Amino acid sequence: MSSLPASPPLAGPPKPLANPFRPATFFVSVNELSDLPDTAGGEVAFVGRSNAGKSSAINTLATRNQLAFVSKTPGRTQQINYFSLPEDRFLVDLPGYGFATAPQSVKQHWQELISAYLLSRAQLRALVLIMDARHPLKELDRQLIDWFVPAQKPMHVLLTKADKLSRQERIATLRRVNEELGKLPLQSSAQLFSSLSREGLDEAIIAIARLLGLTGFALAEIKSPG
């Protein structure tokens, strides 16, 4: 009499979330649209006010301290910086806006560069808008959103420095931002994020990886913060 097949082993604890951004490496910096790389894959661009924590957010996503340059001087990112990923995908760090003491000629160049990139870059799949959770939806943030709406591509908002807010303030801020985004004629979403405490990191990894169309990673479902 043949023996019954052995029972399959019990499932162990869930594997940690795979991070598709860990392999990110610097690719190129450009200062003019004509110098943008002729890439075949998609890219997601990060943009935000100077000192909103944009470079820190990119570094946190990639679990790297110095992938994107973090400066105590607002407005340091003055070029479009590309970081390569597997599957011919890219993260794109756009110049920060709202740097009060920048020369007018520099401000004008940044405005034209960012606006033209957002509307003309065929490889752009989505925008990640970085806003300080303590001061979201300032005038320049709204102007940036207005520039992006005609592109009709998805936008994901990272409300950074969320660790600076109380729990009630976080809930109220996220609700208000989502209400404002809901009025826009484009696909959009928002979440709380902190490079310091890593709050919202898994949620951001999943959202941005999906926007990029990355495959081959164990992107587990997680609960949205409530």
Residue 95 lies in a domain: yes
Residue 217 lies in a domain: no
**Which of the residue ranges 7-11, 39-43, 88-92, 154-158 would you say has the lowest mean pLDDT?**
7-11
pLDDT at res. 34: 93
What DSSP string describes 3-44?
Answer: PPPPPPPPP-SPPPPP-TTTT-EEEEEESSGGG----SS-EE
Residue 9 lies in a domain: no
Give 113 or 179, the one with higher predicted confidence.
179
- Mean pLDDT along residues 102-128: 89
Number of structural domains, the chain?
A: 1
Q: Is the pLDDT of residue 130 over 70?
A: yes
For residue 158, what pLDDT band results from cuts at 50, 70 and 90?
A: very high
For residue 101, what pLDDT band results from cuts at 50, 70 and 90?
A: low
Q: Is the pLDDT of residue 75 over 80?
A: no
The domain of 196 spans: 25-212
Indicate the average pLDDT of the chain: 85
> Residue 172 and residue 175: Cα distance in Å, rounded?
5
Give 226 or 187, the one with higher predicted confidence.
187
CATH number of the domain encompassing residue 40: 3.40.50.300
Residue 147 lies in a domain: yes
Residue 119 lies in a domain: yes
Q: Is the pLDDT of residue 16 over 80?
A: no
Residue 6 lies in a domain: no
Number of residues in the chain: 226
Residue 15 lies in a domain: no
Residues 6+ apart with CB under 8 A from 25: 67, 83, 84
- Mean pLDDT along residues 18-28: 91
- Burial level of 178, CB count in 10 A (0-12/13-18/19+)? middle
Residue 220 lies in a domain: no
Instruction: Indicate the pTM of the whole model.
Output: 0.85
